[in-house]
Amino acid sequence: AAVKAAGVAEEDIQTTSFYVNVFRTYDPSGQPGEITGFQVSNQVLVIVRDLDKLNTVLGDAVAAGANSIYGIGFAVADPTAAASQARKRAVEDARARAEELAAANGMSLGRVVTVTELAAPYGPPITMEGAAGKGAGYAPPIQTGMVEVTVDVQVTYELIS
């Protein structure tokens, strides 16, 4: 409710994990006794599209009771054009490196044998814990920075001596 009130669209909020842990006593022989309590965890993925609202959304979530926030990450909404440009540059870079290696071995490049695009690498997520108890209006200092779109290619060339 807090992130909706902060302007996040309902389709940008998704439960990713929900579990209930039961706490109980055990007798000396290890047999379960009475239930003494429960721990409930509800993890939600929230996509904040308006980055000017990010600090407010996080602060409001904490004020509403969120006690752990994991994996803050940034991405390009539509990386298609940037990925296309990155692919072209990756292939150009692969050719330049291959030419350099071939020349260092007294050879030249022949035809391309294979081209493979490798899975996109993802950097480590930013993690924020212990923000609970900061009170209403707490806006954590999150810097959005710049997002890079990267493409890794593997190109195999025929070598000509």
Please give the pLDDT value at position 140: 61
Residue type, 86: A
pTM for the full model? 0.56
Phi, psi of 32 (to 5 degrees): -65, 140
- Tens place of pLDDT per residue across the chain (161 aa): 999 999 999 999 999 999 999 999 999 999 999 999 999 999 999 999 998 888 889 889 888 988 888 878 888 888 889 889 999 999 999 999 999 999 999 999 999 999 999 866 544 433 334 444 444 455 666 667 777 888 899 999 999 99
> What is d(CA 73, CA 24) in angstroms, rounded to the nearest whole number?
37
Please give the pLDDT value at position 139: 60
Please give the pLDDT value at position 13: 94
Query: Per residue, what are the HEC states of the chain?
Result: CHHHHCCCCHHHEEEEEEEEEEEEEECCCCCEEEEEEEEEEEEEEECCCCHHHHHHHHHHHHHCCCCEEEEECCCCCCCHHHHHHHHHHHHHHHHHHHHHHHHHCCCEEEEEEEEEEECCCCCCCEEEECCCCCCCCCCCCCCCCCCCCCCEEEEEEEEEC
**Among 147, 151, 157, 156, which Cα is nearest to 90's?**
151
Tokens standing for residue 59? 């602060």
Please give the pLDDT value at position 130: 42
